[in-house]
Structure 1
């Protein structure tokens, strides 16, 4: 990883993202670019004031990073809507990673889900790291998620190439479904029959995950399957909490199985409610 970009709004939560970006820049010897977007849909006088204030804050931040952290950084103020400004900065700089804090939740909702999702994936072709937890050091336990598709495999290979959490414990999570239990007549199955069905589905899921791992190049990971008892985002978060993970990796190009999980409402819930860091990562090639 050679270049990291941080998008900041100068909030306290955004400072978490800054600290994580500094840790990663030090770890990889990467260049660090810090951007702030000023909404230009305002009177010119207000835009000018906010632009000048942002430039000064960025200058002070860069000075502090150089003197205290020993990290050199370049800074930029972009005049645009928050979404368009980030798009412009990423397209211009082409960073290996975009780091953001858990701020402006409504903006993140607009970026990652709904009608904007495919546009975002097309225009920002780099991984996005949302820093939710205060950074205390390198990641210790990373949970990667998969829907077993080829595109998911490409995304996880890209994650491996980034090198984030390379010394951490790695778990590969596959949340499987038991569709027969969601049918209207499923209540006619006895408790034992339901347990047997879930056990059979879990064995199939484990076999399929093993085949996926054999075909992919993901390094040393521990496979894990979990039955989707409620909602996919709940299973991910519950597993992350139970396993004490500090980073969850989501593919943004799910095409089958967990497409809704990885692009739609589940991604929204994970981004809005997760207490651990989330890395949304596209595959190596676009589909």
Structure 2
């Protein structure tokens, strides 16, 4: 079953008055991939007139001489970046080197600086695994309490098409409302995706339903999912967003990625809370796999209640 698309053909999320984006935090390891994150953070800072805080975390679980050498070099590189940002891009910024394990250092910076957005690059894949899988990810997101933008693609301008996702939960509704208030996407087209289940078509039951019966059942489930999504959008106060539903013919993360590709989205928005809870949704079979496999940017956003 492909996408089922009720709602307005054009897209745009309801906006709030005022400029919500005032401070952006960039965590960098000075890699080429972190350079992508820096470019995106700079674009956003200029777009919103926001200040930019640059941080680098030095792992302090090393011999002191190594820690001190890395700290000194990191401070020098951050100062150079700050000068360029001020003089070339006109972005006001501050810098900080933190001595701590990576996840703890970033969480500390978020707590102290209280940014509206944390921007990171995918870094090296092994580091991605270390940062986002298992208890490290749960602790990082829970401690950060702010939206996290992972920049996978080289920035070429403002976002053009945003694919938001929902499981129709209260946490998802709050996160989408927080996304609207953040206004990170500006005038980008907005599409809201809900991946629905068709339990009668699971392998254990599908053999008992004839093919034409399966098609009728699937159409009914798609209509039901579309109706539930429309009700969700209405009660959440999300305006002029294009709505699509997809059956989880494969795992939900694959359906999200396929939808992003077919919709030519350049940003995917995922809630860090949902019916399955933080641990399963963020660390398990959905966000973890989307983070690993996506070639476009990912915004992981907690509900307002977590702020």
Give the TM-score normalised by structure 2.
Answer: 0.89
- State the alpha-carbon separation in 1 of the partners of residues 68 and 33 from structure 2: 25
**Matched positions, count:** 287
Q: What is the alpha-carbon distance in structure 2 between the residues aligned to residue 186 and residue 45 of structure 1?
A: 64
Aligned 8 A contact 1:83 1:107 in 2: no
Partner residue in 2 for 1:174: 194
The Cα of 1:119 is off from its aligned counterpart by: 2.9
Contact persistence 1:143–1:240 (CA under 8 A):
yes
Which residue number in structure 2 is paired with residue 99 of structure 1? 119
Establish whether residue 215 from structure 1 lines up as the match of residue 241 from structure 2: no
Matches of residues 120-131 of structure 1 in structure 2 within 5 Å? 120-131=140-151
Superposed displacement of residue 110, structure 1:
4.3
Aligned to 2:106: 86
Name the residue aligned to 1:35: 55
Distance, in Å, in 2 between the alignment partners of 1:209 and 1:44 is 55
Pair 51,258 (structure 1): closer, same or farther in 2 beyond 3 Å = closer
Partner of 2:221: 201
SS at match of 1:193: helix
Contact 1:252–1:263, Cα closer than 8 Å, also in 2: no
How far the C-alpha of 1:256 sits from its partner, in A, is 4.6
Q: 2-side partners of 1:88 and 1:141: how far apart?
A: 32
Name the CA distance, whole Å, in 1 between partners of 2:247 and 2:112: 42
1:1-287 correspondence to structure 2 within 5 Å: 1-256=21-276, 260-286=280-306
Alpha-carbon distance in structure 2 between the residues aligned to 1:163 and 1:223:
19
CA deviations 1:225-271 (Å, max 9, x no partner) are 11111111111111101110000000001125998445522211111
Report the Cα offset of residue 131 of structure 1: 0.3
CA RMSD of aligned residues (A): 1.8
> C-alpha offsets along residues 123-161 of structure 1, whole Å, 9 cap, x if unaligned?
110000000000000000001100001111000000000
Query: What is the rounded CA distance, in whole Å, between the counterparts of 1:11 and 1:272 in structure 2?
Result: 18
* C-alpha distance in 2 between matches for 1:192 and 1:113: 42
C-alpha distance in 2, partners of 1:120/1:255?
20
TM-score (norm 1): 0.95
Instruction: State the shift of 1:112 in Å.
Output: 3.6
Instruction: State the Cα distance separating 1:52 from its structure 2 match.
Output: 0.4
Assess if the C-alpha contact under 8 Å between 1:254 and 1:262 holds in 2: no
The CA distance in 2 between the partners of 1:111 and 1:190, in whole Å, is: 47
CA distance in 1 between counterparts of 2:277 and 2:199 reads: 12
